[in-house]
Amino acid sequence: MDTTPRPAVAGLARRIDGPVLRPGDDDYDRERSGFNLAVDQRPALIVGAVSAADVAAAVRFAADHGLRVTAQATGHGAGVPLDGGVLVGTRRLDGVRLDAGARLARVEAGVRWRQVIEPAAAAGLAPLSGSSPLVGAVSYLLGGGLPVLGRTFGWGADRVRRLEVVTADGELVAAGPDENADLFWALRGGKGGFGIVTTAEVELVPLPRLYGGGLIFAAESAAMVATVAHAWRAWSAELPEAMNTALAFVRLPGGPLTAHVRIAYAGDADDGAALVRPLRGLGPLADTVAPLSPAAIGAVYNDPTEPIPYDERSLLLASFDDAAVDALVEVAGPDAPGGVIMVDVRRLGGALPRRPEHPRALDHGTAEFSLAALGLDPVATEAVLDRLRPWSTGLRFLNFLGGPAAAALAHEAFPPETLARLAAVKRDRDPHGVFPAPHLAAS
């Protein structure tokens, strides 16, 4: 129920340069919805921030009126229910400043990776972006950021140099290794419960060449899927760090199941082609693996670009042996009950397990693989993960939790000691729970 007094809202609207919207206003529905159509949040108030000062005013307003407040850039990762609270829309904060000499990008809260990838590629550089260039850069980094090129360059969160963040008291502060280090630690992996980040300064990596794309295999029978999946598993066990790969089973509504092998090789095309040759021998239906402009890195996964409804769940795996392959084919192959649009198994390793220069809340334990399942039916997606639980590290990956159930699972993204430390930062920085984070309140 909206109990915020109208004069107070009018006062806020006067202090804010962007739009302030209430239920019933023309742009309210457009502003509250995002990429995941399964998230139907109905905030009491939406603030379309055009500056860090707008964000600060919105947070102060929420704190003064006992309301909760969270940010939304694109809605790819929406998951914390915000009915009756204040939603800060950040998409108008879309400034990008690139310093190619220093290999740094300064990105505002509403920037999508695509806006960084393209200018960086022109300078022979790349951000450590994920599979979809349409995802918001800041929230991806706050969730840890598993990049397409993760085996080669490590986690996205480890390339964050500095953050500017509005804290629960409405102050804009900087967080880095030497200032507000508790926030810097918590925000890199702990995501949204500590403040609203207005700007992130991130390091770019040199990426002069890329060889990548997808091999798509028919998956009409369980035997066909199993052949590809076993071959991928064995092949991916002995790869150089420059090679990054994932295996996915994809079933778009109404379409047949296909098996996708995703390839991103950060090196010479001839070397990449030599590595990929054994997989080509399996006879893919389609083969888009080729020299690729780093600006077109989104072609490796070819993620959907139009909004869809989904429940997304994750499990980190300590291993993915032949029995795990068979289990996955059983629950997500052509004979599976259905309800799942995609399962994605990413081979980790390489640079990902290396100790970060600055400690962070992201903690992937001993994971060698990331498993994500995405579907319309939460029971079906969780059933996939349940079947693979014997191979799990016990942890989930926060960025791969999306949809209405995400908040309830978030505590499973952290070992108990990390969760306890996050909860301590939360108590210190946001004692009244202005920023919703149910998993931290419970610890």
Ligand X SMILES: Cc1cc2nc3c(=O)[nH]c(=O)nc-3n(C[C@H](O)[C@H](O)[C@H](O)COP(=O)(O)OP(=O)(O)OC[C@H]3O[C@@H](n4cnc5c(N)ncnc54)[C@H](O)[C@@H]3O)c2cc1C
Query: Tokens representing 152?
Result: 């080669």
Q: In angstroms, what is the minimal distance from the CB of 281 to ligand X?
A: 28
Q: Which of residues 29-58 bind ligand X (CB under 6 A)?
A: 34-35
Q: In angstroms, what is the minimal distance from the CB of 362 to ligand X?
A: 10
Options 18, 189, 334, 402; binder of ligand X; rule CB under 6 A? 402
Options 143, 212, 333, 350; binder of ligand X; rule CB under 6 A? 143
CA distances from 85 to 23, 44, 63, 171, 407 (A): 12, 5, 11, 19, 16
Q: Which of residues 168-227 bind ligand X (CB under 6 A)?
A: 191-192, 196-197
406 is a contact residue toward ligand X (CB under 6 A)? no
- Report the sign of the C-alpha dihedral through residues 86, 314, 344, 270, in that order: positive
> What 3 state SS string does the chain have?
CCCCCHHHHHHHHHHCCCCEECCCCCCHHHHHCCCECCCCCCCCEEEECCCHHHHHHHHHHHHHCCCCEEEECCCCCCCCCCCCCEEEECCCCCCEEEECCCCEEEEECCCECHHHHHHHHHCCEECCCCCCCCCEHHHHHHCCCCCCCHHHHCCHHHHEEEEEEECCCCCEEEEECCECHHHHHHHHHHHHHHCEEEEEEEECEECCCCEEEEEEEECCCHHHHHHHHHHHHHHHHHCCCCEEEEEEEECCCCCCCEEEEEEEECCCHHHHHHHHHHHHCCCCCEECCEECCHHHHHHCCCCCCCCECCEEEEEEECCCCHHHHHHHHHHHCCCCCCCEEEEEEEECCCCCCCCCCCCCCCCCCCCCEEEEEEECCHHHHHHHHHHHHHHECCCCCHHHCECCCHHHHHHHHCCHHHHHHHHHHHHHHCCCCCCCCHHHHCC
Choose the binding region for ligand X from 128-136, 205-213, 271-279, 356-364 (rule: CB under 6 A). Answer: 128-136
Options 244, 314, 381, 399; binder of ligand X; rule CB under 6 A? 399
140 is a contact residue toward ligand X (CB under 6 A)? yes
345 is a contact residue toward ligand X (CB under 6 A)? no
Q: In angstroms, what is the minimal distance from the CB of 141 to ligand X?
A: 8
Rank residues 143 and 334 by Cβ distance to ligand X and give the closer one: 143
Choose the binding region for ligand X from 77-85, 96-104, 221-229, 356-364 (rule: CB under 6 A). Answer: 77-85
263 is a contact residue toward ligand X (CB under 6 A)? no
Choose the binding region for ligand X from 4-12, 68-76, 222-230, 236-244 (rule: CB under 6 A). Answer: 68-76
74 is a contact residue toward ligand X (CB under 6 A)? yes
Options 43, 81, 127, 130; binder of ligand X; rule CB under 6 A? 130
Q: In angstroms, what is the minimal distance from the CB of 219 to ligand X?
A: 21
80 is a contact residue toward ligand X (CB under 6 A)? yes
297 is a contact residue toward ligand X (CB under 6 A)? no
Kindly determine how many residues on this chain lie close enough to bind ligand X according to the rule CB under 6 A: 35
Neighbours of 223 (CB within 10 A): 11
Rank residues 131 and 258 by Cβ distance to ligand X and give the closer one: 131
Rank residues 134 and 269 by Cβ distance to ligand X and give the closer one: 134
90 is a contact residue toward ligand X (CB under 6 A)? yes
106 is a contact residue toward ligand X (CB under 6 A)? no
Q: In angstroms, what is the minimal distance from the CB of 179 to ligand X?
A: 18
Q: In angstroms, what is the minimal distance from the CB of 71 to ligand X?
A: 4
**Chain positions contacting ligand X, by CB under 6 A:** 34-35, 70-80, 90, 109, 130-132, 135-136, 138-140, 142-146, 191-192, 196-197, 303, 399, 402
